[in-house]
Structure 1
Amino acid sequence: MAVAKSRRTPSTRGMRRAHDALKTVQLSTDPT
């Protein structure tokens, strides 16, 4: 069977970025 190439789509990048942003916000708010 042919294996589909895993390509990074804008939607996936956006989701990852959103998750990173949430993590950074939590980290920055927790210590203070």
Structure 2
Amino acid sequence: MNNIAKFFSIISCVLFAQDDFFEPGYSIGGYG
């Protein structure tokens, strides 16, 4: 399950970069 966590981490990072596409995404990582 470690791989999944790592994968999710990368995906979330990418989503954060595209907050325009994934606004509610920064909420998961505590962006703001």
Structure number with greater CO (CA < 8 Å, separation at least 6) is 2
Stretches of 4+ aligned residues off by more than 6 angstroms: none
Counting matched residue pairs gives 20
TM-score, structure 2 length as denominator? 0.55
What runs of 5+ residues in structure 1 fail to find an aligned partner?
A: 1-9
Identity %: 0
TM-score, structure 1 length as denominator? 0.55
The structure with the largest alpha-carbon Rg is 1
What runs of 5+ residues in structure 2 fail to find an aligned partner?
A: 21-32
